[in-house]
Each structure stands twice: as structure tokens, then as C-alpha cells.
Amino acid sequence: MAWTLFFLAFLNYCSGANSQPTVTQTGSQSVSLGQTAKLACSASSGGSWGYFHWYQQKPGQAPRFVWYGSSDRGEGIPDRFTGSESGNTGSLTISNTQAEDEAVYFCGAWEVTGGSKYVFGGGTQLNVLGQPTVPPTVNVFPPSPEELKSSDKATLVCLIDGFYPGVVQVTWQADGTPISSGVETTTPTKLNDKYAASSYLSMKKSDWESYEAVICKVTHEGKTVEKVVRRLDCA
């Protein structure tokens, strides 16, 4: 998120917030795994534009140069990526799309009429569909000794890692009874083509001391993984 905000601020600085020339991109686009994606970029008419540039940005990472003009591919970019342009329009074609191609793609170009301005579009989020299902790895942790000593609260943590697609349902049980109060579950975030999330269960220290076992249950694509923490094992 921080990189995205910095990058967009940089784009506004370079293009000028009130400048007339614009570059337009589709907000999002989906493609099936192994199929071809063609991302479009359109510059405003009435101006003279230089070569189009393409950049790829994944969550939490800096933008990566992908393509320039009609033949200049970025370092380490697979030859599945090719660019083309005609007049005020440019395109980036990705053949045989892979899971790792899922990212935001920014297009930019020089507008050279009346002084050069480098203008970026808002980016296209490419979603790659049909990726293999990967179940989550689930780990649950008891309240820390420091928390139990210094407060009257007890917080359990359930870490959910390495799953795809990025939708899970998390529930908690204490001694077989469902618990909904004090539960906070994060929105899954993507890292290295898979997702991760966390769920927190906060309760009174006295409640924790009254339970024998607390379970974190994670349901993903119709299958449930359960992890239990037993209070006496933490003593």
C-alpha cells in the first residue's frame, strides 16, 4: 500500500494534477490461466505522444519496468510479454498467463506538445482466474505470558497462510461452544501468488483460565482445518 501511494504521488507530480493531457486504462481485467491478456492504454487526442511505457506492480513491491516502445523489454521479463502501439494507443499483450502475472499494470507516455509532460494512467488490475486451489496452513497461538501477567486480558492468535483463492471463513470455539464476541479477522492479503490472513480472539483472563481447549476453525473451498490450543499445555 505504501509503495502504491508513493508511486501514484510520483505520477501526479510528473504529470501535473491540472494538466490537460490524459492517459486512460481499464480499471480491472480478468483472464483465465494459460490464456492471452491484452491490456489497453489510450492517450488523449489532440497531442503528440512519445513511446508508451509499461510497469508492473505487485502488492507490497516497487513498480517493475516491463516494456517500452515497440521492442524494449524489461530485465527479467519473460518473452510472453510484448508491447505494441499505434498513434495515441498502446497495448501490452501477455500470452500463456501465469499466476505470477497477477498484478497492477501502469501505462505511461510522454506528451511532447508545448513542453514535455510524462503522463500515467490509473493502472489496470489483472486477475488471473483458474489457478489451482491451495489449502491454508493454520497455526494457533495461546496468550503470551507477558499479557497474562500484566493485564486481565487474554488474546489468542490464529495465523492462516499460503492459500488460494483468497477467501476463508474463520470461527472460534471454546470447550465446544462457538465464540463470536472479541473476534477480529483480517482481510486476506496476497503475497507471492498466495494469500494470508490472521484472526484474533480476545477474552478476559478469567475466561481463558476457565477453558480447557480453544479451537480455531478455518474453512476454505468447502474444507475445514481445525487447530486447537490446550490451556494446560501452556502452563
Tens digit of pLDDT for each residue in 65-123? Answer: 999 887 789 999 999 999 988 888 889 999 999 988 999 999 988 887 766 788 899 99
Residues 16 and 39 in one domain: yes
Q: Do 112 and 163 sit in the same domain of this protein? A: no
The three cell numbers locating residue 76: 527479467
DSSP letters along 57-93, please? E-TTS--EEEEETTTEEPTT--TTEEEEEETTEEEEE
Looking up residue 118, the CATH number of its domain turns out to be 2.60.40.10
Per-residue pLDDT of 42-72, as tens digits, reads 888 766 777 889 999 987 789 999 998 877 8
Question: What mean pLDDT is reported for the chain?
Answer: 87
User: Last residue of some domain: 111, 129, 147?
Assistant: 129
pLDDT band, residue 235 (cuts 50/70/90):
low
Boundary of a domain, candidates 79, 108, 129 = 129
* CA 84 – CA 29 distance, rounded (Å): 18
Percent with pLDDT over 90 in the chain: 61
Query: Do 36 and 122 belong together in one domain?
Result: yes
62 and 145 in one domain? no
Domain match, 8 and 94 both: yes
Residues 19, 79 within the same domain: yes
pTM (predicted TM-score):
0.62
Give dist(CA 207, CA 196) in Å, integer.
Answer: 29
Q: What are phi and psi of 192, to 5 degrees?
A: 55, 45
Query: Is 95 in the same domain as 155?
Result: no
Instruction: Please give the residue that has the higher pLDDT: either 9 or 206.
Output: 206
Q: Which of 103, 129, 155 is the last residue of a domain?
A: 129
- The count of structural domains within the chain is 2
Confidence class for position 16, pLDDT limits 50, 70, 90: very low
Let me know whether 118 and 196 are in one domain. no
Are 172 and 119 in a shared domain?
no
- What's the domain range around 114? 2-129
Same domain, yes or no: 228 and 119:
no
What is the structure's pLDDT at 4? 46
101 and 155 part of one domain: no
Strand 153-163 and strand 124-129: the pairing is: unpaired
In this structure, the answer to whether residues 94 and 194 fall within a common structural domain is no
Average pLDDT score over residue span 172-184: 96
Residue 191: pLDDT above 70?
A: yes
pLDDT at 166: 86
